[in-house]
Structure 1
Amino acid sequence: MADVKVVEGSFQVDDGVSLFTKSWLPADGPLRAKMIMVHGFNDHVDRYYDFFPSLARRGIAVHAFDQRGWGRSVKTPADRGRSGATPAVLADIAAFLRSHLPPEKEDGERAAEGAGGAGGADVPVFVLGHSMGGGEVLALASTPQYADLIARVRGWILEAPFLGFTPAAQPSWLTIASGRLAAHVVPHFRLVRPIPPAHLCRDPAVQASLAADTLLHETGTLEGHAAMIGRAEDLTGGRLRPLRPQVRSLLVAHGTADAIASFERVRAWADEARRPSRGPDALEDLVFKAYEGWFHQLHAEPGREEFYKDVGDWILERSGGGEGLPPAAPEAKL
């Protein structure tokens, strides 16, 4: 990967937990944008194939971290699945995102391009979340506590975001209700929730890789499950809405044959978010793309290069143009 520079490291959040980090950086040519990536349930940053290198080769630096409880951020067996409640999850993402933004001057203006520090050059910053991570970054973009941070993000990308289960995967209301009650008593009680690899991707090689990956422990906690479902309900129920005008652009990508995260709920949410009758709260630059027949992991599906190109094009169109691409129309379909 001579055309891409890969850097591994760690990032310490406010409560002292150390998270594994990995970056894919352009080895040659100008830096044109940055993308912060947030993975999903039972996942880690090394499972995204050529997605991140493909973006880096186009001048888009990718910075990712294994969330607490997942991947190489797990230090002991007791850490598995302990992602925390929503405030802790959002605080982790916000802290990591802030570390990759250019430093601000005392008057609130951004530092000049090329400024030092973890933020690096002053280029547009984008945030992508997949699955559970998609619901998390959308919740972050809808939380007034982070309004100043949200305003500094040029665009948000949701890959198969979890806004609710498909009918086949939906737990019963009794299971959800009892789990929420138990989460208040024993929040760190762990549950193993296997997801068949064949439900995640159509590629047999990817399915075999998922089954063999020892970092995929399939373990969550009552607290974590309750938080994930609660965020989805708050987003689809309108209790959490993307902050306007801070949230400027949104790309939503979802496979129509997703067996885990409901395609219909995400499409309905997107239609509502850009409905003109919402007035100034309507997201005019919201692009929704349905990948016909694709499963949950768009980044690993057969033909995944199409998804890689779509994301790269969308980012560069909103980064001052790029590679001869015209600016995207507000209601453009990829």
Structure 2
Amino acid sequence: MATEEGWHTVEDGTKLYTKTWKTEGPAKARLVFVHGFSDHCNTYNSFFPTLASKGIEVYTFDQRGWGRSAQKKSERGHTGPTTRVLDDISSFLRTVIPCPIPLFLMGHSMGGGEVLCYIAQGPADIRKHIRGYLLESPFVDFSPASKPSPITVFFGRLAGKLLPHRQMVNKLDVKLVSRDPAVQKQFDEDELCHDTGTLEGLAGLLDRTGDLASGRIKIGDDAGEGGVTRIWIGHGNKDGITNPLASRALAERIEAKDKEYKSYEGYYHRLHDEPSPEKEVFMDDVANWILARSVESVQVDGAKSKL
């Protein structure tokens, strides 16, 4: 299994750090992955190598304002508004399409909320290439353990409009991230997991969660390849950061025929970073869902084809 690092320049000249996990033999599928808040693409430990070992090549990038893409402290958390976030995802996706093998898009936590928005609002000329979507602990709403008060949310949105570039530290409780002490230590000591957002970025996050949780963002059954939405959502029922009940409610509202919501008993926020053997169960579920849909017949331009 080989990895490749690089940089992708988006339309406004911003450079985003990228990393790819390649398969040893011919790949069966390609996964583009979007990371979460105070996170970056090199924190996923055995997850991406495991997928690559099963024939799924993984393409990732550090989002604007995060990880190695924030090359100065003054750039930390400068994600821009939701339109900018979705445009960055589109720009990266355009580097991997047209794709010779089935293409999937996945997001974790904040990245999961962004992918849900992308399913509903992303450009149709890109979404038509995506065989399926996967969400890990998506940020549809705050967990009750982490939920800010309505007053905090109101003033956060207001401040985001008045002082958009003001940085603000929102420290994640590492004990809610995973039950594995080594993972907790990793996040606590990783300088690239800087917990720093801007008021504009945080306001955008609040708006996305509000729209997702309320049902204002609607996901139909025609958002992917062949005019079909295929979607899988996994969430731990002990997640103290994002709300599994809100994820389940959203899954029930999605109109797609090929959809699955899986609850993981006792799991915390990073399903792929829970203690063994629990994390392996999650990784196998993700890989099996992708591979099962990498050989199915799909409707393309009015005709059936099997890839």
Q: TM-score range by the shorter chain?
A: over 0.9
Alignment of 1:1-334 (within 5 A): 4-27=1-24, 29-102=25-98, 119=99, 122-143=100-121, 146-247=123-224, 248-273=229-254, 282-302=255-275, 303-320=278-295
Deviation at 1:239, TM superposition (A): 2.1
Letter in 2 for 1:264: L
Deviation at 1:168, TM superposition (A): 2.1
Deviation at 1:75, TM superposition (A): 1.0
Q: Which ranges of structure 2 fall in alignment gaps of 5 or more residues?
A: 297-307
Question: Do 1:154 and 1:249's aligned partners in 2 also have CA atoms closer than 8 Å?
Answer: yes
Match of 2:302 in 1: none
**TM-superposition CA deviations, 1:228-282 (whole Å, max 9, x none):** 1111121222221224312421010000000000111111111122xxxxxxxx2
Question: Do 2:239 and 2:269's aligned partners in 1 also have CA atoms closer than 8 Å?
Answer: yes
Deviation at 1:101, TM superposition (A): 1.1
Point out 4+ residue stretches in structure 1 off by more than 6 angstroms: none
CA distance, structure 2, for counterparts of residue 238 and residue 289 of structure 1: 20
Give me the TM-score of the superposition, normalised by structure 2: 0.92
Secondary structure (helix, strand or coil) at the match of 2:245 reads: helix
Give me the TM-score of the superposition, normalised by structure 1: 0.85
Q: Which is greater in Rg?
A: 1
CA distance, structure 2, for counterparts of residue 201 and residue 246 of structure 1: 32
Secondary structure (helix, strand or coil) at the match of 2:26 reads: coil
**TM-superposition CA deviations, 1:106-159 (whole Å, max 9, x none):** xxxxxxxxxxxxx5xx1100001000000001101101x512211210000000
CA distance, structure 2, for counterparts of residue 272 and residue 245 of structure 1: 14
Q: Which ranges of structure 1 fall in alignment gaps of 5 or more residues?
A: 103-118, 274-281, 322-334
**TM-superposition CA deviations, 1:49-103 (whole Å, max 9, x none):** 111111111111100000011111111110011111000000000110121112x
CA distance, structure 1, for counterparts of residue 253 and residue 87 of structure 2: 27
CA distance, structure 1, for counterparts of residue 235 and residue 85 of structure 2: 23
Question: Do 2:113 and 2:138's aligned partners in 1 also have CA atoms closer than 8 Å?
Answer: yes
